[in-house]
Amino acid sequence: MIRVLINGYKGKMGSESVLAVEKESDLELVDRTDQGDDLKARIESSKVDVVVDFTEPSCAMNNTKIIAESNAGGVIGTTGFQQSELDELRNVCANKSPGLLIAPNFSISAILLMKLSVIASQHMPDVEIIELHHPKKKDAPSGTAVKTAELISESQGKATVPRGTSDDRALGELHFGIPVHSVRLPGFLAHQEVIFGGEGQSLSIRQDSYNRTCFMPGVVLGIRKVMENPGLTYGLEHFLFND
Ligand code: NAD
């Protein structure tokens, strides 16, 4: 039985994680904490194996350091880590077991979309990305769209239409050389389509997240995998694929 503590349990992702952990027969929810609780003391007193953290960017590093310096492993979904902070955490938990997973995206379909897009771009390099989200989303384009563009560009994907005219604005914003189009509309949660064009053919790869439960299979997988993977892992894809 893996003993789990959820930090940020009153929030949207934390409360979903509570339900997800309670459903699994090999996981036991032994404690839950939120703002104002002494995380370090509770990890020790509850003797937890893994802490799941969905809090907020302003306290992400502080919480994650407390977890990294404890005997427990960590599954961190809170966003907003700087590269220097990731480097510091890698040092703090080198060889630590159970390890620490920091995953900016726990949606398995979103990770598969990126993986499949990289494969497709090796054969169909002309590509554009459309991402669609709810109107309250603060950033545009989404982090997942930019990450997808980066991965595709490393594998030779490119924009088709030449740039440099006043019409460029309507052609999407270039990220890593690939046009990204953002749509913000009520009714959507988080969706992305990657469209590849070729001679007489096209290929669309689309991913849709309908609600926050889409993240939970990834969180549960992360909890199990940090038990057997020491040190820092950045990105759930490392627990999904062998390469
Ligand atoms: P939320 O605002 O609904 O919940 C945040 C919770 O954290 C609240 O209950 C709040 O009281 C608590 N909190 C704040 N400061 C704290 C502290 N110092 N210690 C303990 N608890 C504290 O937010 P949310 O929608 O649940 O998102 C939480 C985080 O997860 C955000 O950073 C968000 O971007 C991220 N997120 C990640 C993924 C992913 O796949 N990795 C998916 C969705 C959201």
Look at ligand 1, atom 39, and give the residue with the nearest C-alpha: 105
> 114 vs 138, which has greater pLDDT?
114
Asked if residues 130 and 195 have their Cβ atoms less than 8 Å apart, the reply is yes
Lowest mean pLDDT among 26-40, 160-174, 209-223: 160-174
pLDDT tens digits along 187-210: 999 999 999 999 999 999 999 999
pLDDT exceeds cutoff 90 at 111? yes
* CA 53 to centroid of ligand 1, rounded, Å: 8
**DSSP character for 123?**
T
The CA distance from 148 to 215, in Å, is 18
> 85 vs 159, which has greater pLDDT?
85
The CA distance from 172 to 206, in Å, is 18
Structure-block tokens of residue 152: 């595709």
Tell me what pLDDT residue 10 has. 98
> 41 vs 167, which has greater pLDDT?
41
* CA 205 to centroid of ligand 1, rounded, Å: 29
Tell me what pLDDT residue 165 has. 66
Atom of ligand 1 minimally distant from the CA of 16: 26
The CA distance from 173 to 182, in Å, is 9
- Ligand 1: residues within 6 Å at CB? 7-8, 10-14, 34-35, 54-57, 59, 63, 77-79, 103-106, 215
Catalytic (active-site) positions: 133, 137
Mutation test of ligand 1: which of 40, 43, 79, 223 has the most ligand atoms closer than 8 Å to its C-beta? 79
* CA 15 to centroid of ligand 1, rounded, Å: 10
Which residues, in sequence order, are bridge partners of residue 183?
132
Look at ligand 1, atom 2, and give the residue with the nearest C-alpha: 11
* CA 36 to centroid of ligand 1, rounded, Å: 14
The CA distance from 129 to 230, in Å, is 35
- Give the mean pLDDT of the chain: 93
pLDDT tens digits along 39-87: 999 999 999 999 999 999 999 999 999 999 999 999 999 988 889 999 9
